[in-house]
Structure formats: structure tokens, C-alpha cells
Structure 1
Amino acid sequence: MIVIPMKMEELTWEDFEKIKTRVKGLILPVGSVEAHGKHLPLGTDVFAPLEISRRVEEKLKDRGIDILIAPPIWYGHSFVLNVYPGTINVKSGTFQKYVQEILEEFAKEGFEKVIILNGHGGNIYPLIGAAEEVVEKYDVEVVLINWWMDFKEEISRICSSQGHAGEDETSVILAINPELVKMEKAIGERRTRPVRIIKKDIGLDIFPNGVNDNPHNATAEKGEEILEVVSEKITNILVELL
């Protein structure tokens, strides 16, 4: 039996035409290319949703539900971390318009549900704006999942803290690809502000060295547990929605 891959970029247009008529929805992983301390790769915010998407697709298939995984959106809105080399910041309005047009194309292709699996906090407001514009014009439902936020309670049972390039994110990347993590450079601290301050180079204050948490206690075992519980939670949500 020939198994057709469920990654959109691996399909021919004929395969895509056939598959889109039988799948229940589409997952769109979204992240950013930005500094994550001196110990994590710039692609952290994409690597995580890609791996979660893969696990969700497998879990749904085990329950008899097919879902397509779209190519990820790598670049996101990252004003705060733009002070560090390697951060590729897309302005909020530009990013929103870009995502909006992608969502519109999926709606035109006939997808009734698009699940945005987001891995980056700076994307949240533009993603909401893009989705709102699209659902007013097309018969499509957009589901926005921010994996580290929406399952904060579950993750807090595994990690002692959460934060940018912190224990949770570092654990997840250790589980996905430990060769990309430099644990000897995994240092940082949690910093908070009572109100949001917007100023140039604010990242130097609240993200020293590109970190806002202590990643020292991160382990691959914790990362595997996070990936499993988050992917299971998302699967259960999508079973209900699809």
C-alpha cells in the first residue's frame, strides 16, 4: 500500500486536489526566527510547532481523522528581540497582511477549518487580526493555538518555570534535537514588568542575552513529556472540532 504524505509541500498538485476533498482541516505552523539565548537555535519557535504538528497528525490518524500539515511560516513579528543578531523582524502590519492572504488562499481552496499552531508570542495579535479579516469574507473557521500559553497549566506540572528560552522551551528542543542545544551556555533569569513598556532596545532590559527565564533545569525527558501532553491535548480538541 502506498501512503501519500500529509505534508502539503511533499504533494503533487493532483495529490493535493484529491486529499483536500477528504481531510477535515489543515494545520499551519507559525513561528519566528529570533534569538533564544546563547544556547538555543534561532528557529526554536518553528521547530516546536512543527514537531507538535507531526505528533498531532499521527494521533489524529490513529483515530481515523486525516489532517494536512501546511508548510510553516518561518518569519514573524519580533520587535523586542530584534536587538539581537539573527532576529528577523517582520513589522506587525506586514506580517498580518501576509498571513491573511495565506489564510484566504486556503479558504479559496475549500478548507473549512485552518488550525494555526503558533510558537511565538509576538505573532499573537497579528494572527488574530488576520483571522478576523478572513472569517468575515470566507466560510472558514480559524483556530489559533499558542502551545506554550494555552497549556500553561499542564506544562507547569512538568517544569518549575516558563519563559522565553527558558526551562520549557529548552526542554522541548532538547527532546526534538539535542545537538542544537548548548546547555553549557544555558543561563538566564526571570524578569517581569508591571506594565508593558514599548521603547527601542527594550529587549536588552527584559531579555538579557535573549533569555527570560532560568533554563538550567531543562532536560530532554521534560521536553518529551511536554510534547506528548500538548500534542495529546490538541488532538483531543481537534477531534471535537473536526
Structure 2
Amino acid sequence: MNLRYSSGNVVNEKVHKIGVIALGSFLENHGAVLPIDTDIKIASYISLISCIKTGAKFLGVVIPSTEYSYVKHGIHNSVDDVIKYLDFIINEGKKIGIEKIVIVNCHGGNILIKDKLEDLEKKHNVKIKLLNFPLTHAGTEEVSIGYVLGIYKGSLEEHNNFGKYPEVGMVGLKEAREKNKDIDNEAKKVEKFGVKLDINLGKKLLDEYINKVIKEIISFI
């Protein structure tokens, strides 16, 4: 049987060789207004919309996530757990013709997997591109995106209670701030300016991230 690769809204029939995977975190505190699985919901939205717009294949989500040992705001797994799950998805993707993969990551700790992606490329004879979209944890950008996606609910004033919600901006995560200058710098900004809701910013960032994924998909073609 001949499959109709050119049918439907596809930028090019070769796009069927490209898969997109969402990477985030399922179990992290995100203050008062965002759910614990905010990261993976944002990553999944960006990934799926990018596939809808191009015709690339959305291969799903990675359930495990990893994190720096000193960042304690949720439940995470090892780097090897994440790689093992990716290995499974890529292996199954190969069976449907996937040769190139874009990983959309919206959880900072997952950056730790980057050094092991080359091993997956060699094992499966595929090309992998990891796109990281780091957002200040439960900060203005993430809250604004969450509102646009419809996962925001609650009081922003309550959310800015850093004593009760130390994970917001990682303001109250003392060990993380001591060991990571980038985290400390972001926390200082959140302490100074607080977390705000900016719907236009949320829409702008989503469009920007989706366009970056689309650009990567097209470059693979």
C-alpha cells in the first residue's frame, strides 16, 4: 500500500521523517496559581502546535525528568531514567520512519541530559536537536504563559508570598541560590519586582517558542 505523505496540511512530505518530543516535569511545586505539571503542559502545547502547523509527528511526552541535586522543589528522576525513556520513544519512532527529532524542553534541570544525546544519535542513527526554553520558575513569564494556556487559577498576591511558596522564582531555595549564580540572579529579580501577570507577554513568548520549533523542523527538511 502506498501512503499519501503529501496529503493534508504538511509543509513537505519529508516532514513525516521528523518527530517532536515534549520534555518537562510532572511533579514540581509552582506556587499558588500554577499546577505541579506546568512545565510539561507548556512543552506539550508548543510541541503539538508546531506539529499541527508543519505536519511533523508529535511523538508524545517524556514522563521522567531530572534536576540539579540542590534544587529541591519537586520529585525528579536520574539523567539515566530520562535517557532510557527517550531511547524507547526514539526506537518506536524509527519504526514509523522517524529520522530526525526535535526535543522541546521547558524544565531547566533537564539540560543535564544534553551530553548523553549523542549516544542516542549513534545508537539509533538519528539526528537530535534539543531546544531549551528556560523560564524563571513560577515567575512572570511562566505565569503569563500559564494564563494564556488556561492552567492559571488563584490569587497572584498569594503567589507572591515567598515565605509560603519558596519555589516561586526559587527565592526561598537557599541551597540552590548558594550553588548556582544564575538561579540567585533570577531570584533577586523576583524578590525585587515580584511576579506579575502579562497576558501579551504570555502570547508573545508562546508564539516565539512555537516559531523556533517550526524553524528547526523546516531546517531538518
Class of the TM-score when normalised by the shorter of the 2 chains: 0.7 to 0.9
93-102 vs 107-116, which moves further: 93-102
Residue 9 of structure 2: aligned partner = none
Q: CA deviation at 1:90?
A: 0.6
CA distance in structure 1 between the partners assigned to 2:77 and 2:143 by the alignment? 24
Q: Aligned residue for 1:40?
A: 34
Structure 1 residues 143, 37: closer, same or farther in 2, change over 3 A?
Answer: same
Say if 2:165 is the partner of 1:186: no
Partner of 1:239: 218
Letter of the 1:144 partner, please give it.
L
Do the aligned partners of residues 92 and 181 (structure 1) sit closer, same or farther apart at CA in structure 2, a change above 3 Å counting? farther
TM-score relative to the length of structure 2: 0.72
2:100 to 109, 113, 121: 113
> 120, 124, 128: which is aligned to 1:138?
124
Return 5+ residue gaps in structure 2 as ranges: 1-12, 163-167
Q: Which residue is 1:52 aligned to?
A: 46
- 2:145 aligns with 172
Per the TM alignment, residue 123 of structure 1 is displaced from its structure 2 partner at its CA by 0.9
Query: Structure 1 CA distance, aligned partners of 2:72 and 2:115?
Result: 25
Q: Contact between 1:103 and 1:131, CA under 8 Å: does it hold in 2?
A: no
1:220 and 1:178 map into 2 onto residues whose CA distance is 13
Q: Give the alignment's Cα RMSD to 1 decimal.
A: 3.2
Cross-structure match for 1:155: none
Q: CA-to-partner distance for each residue in 1:95-139, whole Å, 9 max, x for gaps?
A: 23332333233235431011111111111122x244211111222
| Contact 1:76/1:123 (<8 A) preserved | yes
1:101 pairs with 2:94: no
Identity of aligned pairs, percent?
22
CA drift of 1:74 comes to 3.2
Paired with 1:117 and 1:106, the residues of 2 have a C-alpha distance of 16
Say which SS state the counterpart of residue 51 (structure 1) adopts.
helix
Query: Does structure 1 conserve the Cα–Cα contact (< 8 Å) formed by 2:33 and 2:152?
Result: no
CA distance in 1 between partners of 2:198 and 2:69 (Å):
27
Unaligned runs of 5+ in 1: 1-19, 61-65, 149-161, 193-199
Residue identity in the other structure for 2:46 = I
Secondary structure of the residue that 2:143 maps to in structure 1? helix
Instruction: Quote the Cα distance in structure 2 between the aligned partners of 1:22 and 1:191.
Output: 39
Q: Deviations over 1:155-197 (max 9, x none)?
A: xxxxxxx5111111111101101544542323258679xxxxx
Whole-angstrom distance in 2 between the partners of 1:227 and 1:22: 22
CA distance in 2, matches of 1:80, 1:173: 26
